[in-house]
Amino acid sequence: METYDALLAAITPESGPTRTILNPATGEAVGEAPVHGVRDLEAAVAEAAAAQPAWAALGHDVRSAALLRAADAVERSAEELATLLSREQGKPLNGPNARFEVGGCAAWLRAAASTPLEPETVVDDGETRAELHYRPIGVVGAIGPWNWPMMITVWQIAPALRMGNAVVVKPSEFTPLSVLALIHVINQELPEGLVSVVSGGRDVGARLAEHPAIGKVMFTGSTATGKAIIKSSADTVKRLTLELGGNDAGIVLPDADPTAIAEGLFWGAFINTGQTCAALKRLYVHEDIYDDVCAELTAVAAAMPMGEGLDENNVLGPLQNKQQFDIVSRLVEAARESGARILIGGNPDAEQPGYFYPTTLVADIDNNNPLVTEEQFGPALPIIRYSSIDEAVAQANALDVGLGASVWSGNLAEARNVAARLQAGTVWINKHGVVDPRIPFGGAKQSGYGLEFGVEGLKALGVPQVING
């Protein structure tokens, strides 16, 4: 186990161009990140391609054992990793935040290692025998976001490694240190060159998407960037898993208990200060309980402390960057100017350092308001009143994205009936955004395609091969 200072020193380049990474809560320097270019990417891809065949030849059991050791390594350095993540990304140590994310990294490494994947006999009738196997792809490119930089990187690399692939990781320019540190720790248990990080800009990402030696790209981020990756990957017919933008709807049915569901609604919307692709971003509440839900949610929101991440008392942090702060500010102001009612929040302190936007609930808002139709990706939740279930379902399905959705009710059968009508990759009941390494996860419509997690996630990192005979 390394100290925090030793971990930071290990990922600080000794030479070459660097960029100072600032804490979004304080503006203070966190560390120096390398600025890699296309030449660095080419070297990393070549090294990965050289290391991959031997790794594939080890077989599932040996690769899984290495992933389990990597999970142990993450846990040994958990506090140091969480501290760096908090300083760079902004999320607090406590609550469903930095320590939670690092713990998720270990959990997903173990899940990828432990999920069984046996050859499937598809026909065996005495005359024909056909088996379906999954072979390594080769080199996988993993392009990650800034909101959950460590955990989503593990979501990408763990199944790729388990299936016998090598991986080249391209982190967000906003949070490269967290990913560099995570891979540094994991690589203590992996062969040299198998997993590398290229901390560069858009030119690196574009080259990764088109590189002929990359057999698959996994990407989590905006729909616009996902479309660019699809175009860049076309000439080499790459396999893709894309987890793109979402604007998740939640529907509260009239029989729901406002007090019982308030905290679940809050964390569904405000986990990671709202900076989560599958967070609850627009809430439809039946008119019979609308005022009660608004009141209960406001009470929960008022009790949740926001501030600098290393303060053990805080559970909400800043927005990670000014660009996102400006988006949230613009959308809330548009809602205010339209006549919507601000229940809490909506007035950031201009004197406070960092990109803090207060927890904001907006009621009596029109369904066509930009705060409803655009993904805010921050701590502002619009609450829309509805009168009939058909109306709520139509409004929830009206957008061109469909990552997740949720239904809140005391009647499980009715909730499932409504859930089946929603156009989303996952529909939760009486919760929102809860992911599980055993359960497949992916989007509908322009929220992307391909599945992650569980057996289906492993299969997505392999090439299906049928042995017929």
3-state secondary structure of 326: helix
Residues 174 and 307 in one domain: no
Residues 270 and 224 in one domain: no
- The pLDDT score that the predictor gives to residue 1 is 77
Select which of 101, 243, 296, 452 is catalytic: 243
Q: Cα-Cα-Cα-Cα dihedral of 251, 327, 311, 282, to 10°? A: 0
User: What is the DSSP code string of 359-404?
Assistant: -EEEES--TTSHHHHS---SSEEEEEEES-HHHHHHHHT-SSEESE
Q: Is 189 part of any domain?
A: yes
Tokens of 387: 């009168």
Residues 201 and 185 in one domain: yes
Q: Is 435 part of any domain?
A: no
Tokens of 410: 């005391």
- The pLDDT score that the predictor gives to residue 325 is 98
Q: Is 437 part of any domain?
A: no
- Secondary-structure percent of the chain, ordered helix, strand, coil, rounded to 5: 40, 20, 35
Structural domain including 315 reads 248-429
- Residue closest to 433 by CA, chosen among 284, 266, 268: 268
Q: pTM for this one?
A: 0.96
Q: Is 65 part of any domain?
A: yes
Phi–psi pair at 136, nearest 5 degrees:
-60, 145
Q: How far apart are CA 323 and CA 296, in angstroms?
A: 31
Select which of 277, 296, 308, 452 is catalytic: 277
Tell me if residue 189 is catalytic. Answer: no
Residues 117 and 174 in one domain: yes
Residues 188 and 304 in one domain: no
- The pLDDT score that the predictor gives to residue 350 is 87
Q: Is 309 part of any domain?
A: yes
Burial (CB count within 10 angstroms: exposed 0-12, middle 13-18, buried 19+), residue 12: middle
Overall size of the chain counted in residues: 469
Q: Which amino acid is at 361?
A: L
Beta-strand relationship, 341-344 and 360-363:
antiparallel
Residues 75 and 123 in one domain: yes
Q: How far apart are CA 229 and CA 219, in angstroms?
A: 8
Q: How far apart are CA 31 and CA 22, in angstroms?
A: 8
CB 184 within 8 Å of CB 192: no
Residues 420 and 341 in one domain: yes
Number of domains in the chain: 2
Q: How far apart are CA 150 and CA 97, in angstroms?
A: 11
CB 156 within 8 Å of CB 441: no
- Residue closest to 345 by CA, chosen among 334, 355, 332, 354: 332
Residues 21 and 168 in one domain: yes
- The pLDDT score that the predictor gives to residue 351 is 87
Q: What is the CATH number of the domain that holds 270?
A: 3.40.309.10
CB proximity list for 130: less than 8 A, separation 6 or greater: 121, 122, 123, 124, 466, 467, 468, 469
Residues 225 and 302 in one domain: no
Residues 340 and 423 in one domain: yes
Q: What is the CATH number of the domain that holds 18?
A: 3.40.605.10
Residues 195 and 275 in one domain: no
Long-range pairs of 372-376 with CB within 8 A, sequence gap ≥ 24 = 372/282, 373/247, 373/399, 374/247, 374/331, 375/245, 375/246, 375/247, 375/281, 375/401, 376/274, 376/281, 376/327, 376/328, 376/331
Residue 277 neighbours by CB distance under 10 Å: 27
Q: Is 442 part of any domain?
A: no
Phi–psi pair at 35, nearest 5 degrees:
-110, 95
Q: Is 434 part of any domain?
A: no
Tell me if residue 243 is catalytic. Answer: yes
Residues 457 and 334 in one domain: no
Q: Is 274 part of any domain?
A: yes
Burial (CB count within 10 angstroms: exposed 0-12, middle 13-18, buried 19+), residue 322: exposed
pLDDT by position in tens, the chain (length 469): 789 999 999 999 999 999 999 999 999 999 999 999 999 999 999 999 999 999 999 999 999 999 999 999 999 999 999 999 999 999 999 999 999 999 999 999 999 999 999 999 999 999 999 999 999 999 999 999 999 999 999 999 999 999 999 999 999 999 999 999 999 999 999 999 999 999 999 999 999 999 999 999 999 999 999 999 999 999 999 999 999 989 999 999 999 999 999 999 999 999 999 999 999 999 999 999 999 999 999 999 999 999 999 999 999 999 999 999 999 999 999 999 999 999 999 999 988 899 999 999 999 999 999 999 999 999 999 999 999 999 999 999 999 999 999 999 999 999 999 999 999 999 999 999 999 999 999 999 999 999 999 999 999 999 999 999 9
